[in-house]
Amino acid sequence: MKANVGDTILFQRNNLKITGSVLKLYTESVLVEITNVSGGT
C-alpha cells in the first residue's frame, strides 16, 4: 500500500474501526494521527 501525506486510512479488525490521517512518510512506514475509534467491546 502506498500512502501520501493527508490521506485518510481505515484500520478494521472484527468490530473495531480506527480512522487516521497520514502526517509523515518514512522509508518503510508512515506516521498516522488517529482521528476516530469506534466499535469494539
pLDDT at 37: 97
- pTM for this prediction: 0.76
pLDDT at 20: 97
Q: 1-41, pLDDT tens digit by residue?
A: 688 999 999 999 999 999 999 999 999 899 999 999 999 77
Cα distances (Å, whole numbers) of residue 3 to 19, 21, 34: 14, 10, 15
pLDDT at 4: 93
Give domain limits for the chain: 8-38
Q: Which residues of 9-38 are buried (b: 16+ CB within 10 A; e: fewer)?
A: eeeeeeeeebebebeeeeeeebebeeeeee
